[in-house]
């Protein structure tokens, strides 16, 4: 059964997204940046990582142009899903938008933008035009 969203771990993240802030966590004990949000540091195991705000600049670690999509996103094809390494030292999944889908490359610099997805939820995307 699906947990209700946002949940106690994710509330600060989604609240940030709604006001245009990309929030992540940092562990002051072992100096590790943490994403996705958790109640303990997955590196050293100490509790209560500290919330921080990212500048939203990063590089593409991996990317794929999706041609066969899950039903909800069928209308969007083709679209680019990527893993983005943020400058603050964490990695997240996103889409790369406002771009020629076939020109998106691993190593490319991108910056965050916010927009509503097809279900009406505001989510962070990335674009090469804002790097």
Report the interface residues with other proteins, using CB under 8 A: 2-3, 5-7, 10, 13, 35-36, 61-73, 76, 79, 81-83, 91-95, 105-107, 117, 119, 121, 123
Place of tokens 């209700």: 4
The dihedral region occupied by 3, where left means phi > 0, alpha psi between -120 and 50, and beta the remainder, is beta
Q: Can you read off the two tokens belonging to residue 70?
A: 């899950």
Shortest spacing between CB 105 and other proteins, in angstroms: 7
Residue 19 vs 107, nearer CB to other proteins: 107
Q: Is 8 exposed, middle or buried (0-12, 13-18, 19+ CB in 10 A)?
A: exposed
Residue 26 vs 95, nearer CB to other proteins: 95
Residue 19 vs 70, nearer CB to other proteins: 70
Query: Cα 81–94–79 angle (5° rounding)?
Result: 30
* Secondary structure of residue 120 in the 3-state scheme: coil
Shortest spacing between CB 46 and other proteins, in angstroms: 19
Residue 5 vs 19, nearer CB to other proteins: 5
Shortest spacing between CB 116 and other proteins, in angstroms: 10
* Secondary structure of residue 82 in the 3-state scheme: strand
């Amino acid at each position: 059964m699906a947990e209700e969203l946002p949940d106690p771990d994710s509330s600060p993240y989604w609240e940030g997204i709604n006001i245009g802030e990309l929030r992540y966590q940092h562990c002051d004990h072992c100096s590790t940046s943490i994403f996705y949000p958790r109640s303990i540091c997955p590196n050293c195991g100490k509790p209560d990582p500290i919330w921080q705000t990212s500048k939203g600049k990063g590089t593409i670690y991996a990317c794929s142009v999706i041609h066969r999509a899950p039903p909800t996103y069928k209308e969007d094809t083709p679209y680019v899903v990527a893993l983005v390494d943020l400058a603050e030292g964490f990695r997240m999944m996103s889409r790369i938008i406002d771009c020629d889908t076939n020109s998106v490359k691993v190593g490319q610099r991108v910056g965050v933008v916010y927009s509503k997805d097809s279900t009406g939820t505001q989510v962070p995307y990335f674009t090469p035009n804002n790097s």
